[in-house]
Amino acid sequence: MPRRSTSAKTDRASRRKHTRNLKVKVELKKTLKKFQALLAAKNLEEAKTLLKKVFSQLDKASKKGIIHPNTASRRKSRLSLRLRKGA
C-alpha cells in the first residue's frame, strides 16, 4: 500500500494505462492473426482491405505510445511486403 496520496494516484493511473494498452495490443494481435490467415489462404483481396485496418491500428498504437513508432513502421513494411509477395 502506498504511503503517499500521490503514489496512490500514480498507481491508479498506471493501472488504467495498463488496461488500455493491453486492450489495444490484444485487438492488434487479433487483426494481425486474421490478416496472416487470409494470406495463408491466398485470399489477397480481403487481405488488402484488412491491411488498411492493420495500418490504422499500428499508427494509433504508436501515436498513443503503446508501441514504438519504428516498430509500427517496421511491421507495416513487412506486412505490405508479404502481401506483395502473395504469401
pLDDT over threshold 70, residue 36? yes
Give percent of the chain with pLDDT exceeding 90: 92
Cβ distance 70 to 78 under 8 Å? no
What's domain 5-85's superfamily in CATH? Ribosomal protein S20 (1.20.58.110)
Tens-digit pLDDT profile for residues 37-72: 999 999 999 999 999 999 999 999 999 999 999 999
Short-list 28, 53, 44, CA closest to 87: 44
Q: What percent of the chain has pLDDT over 70?
A: 99
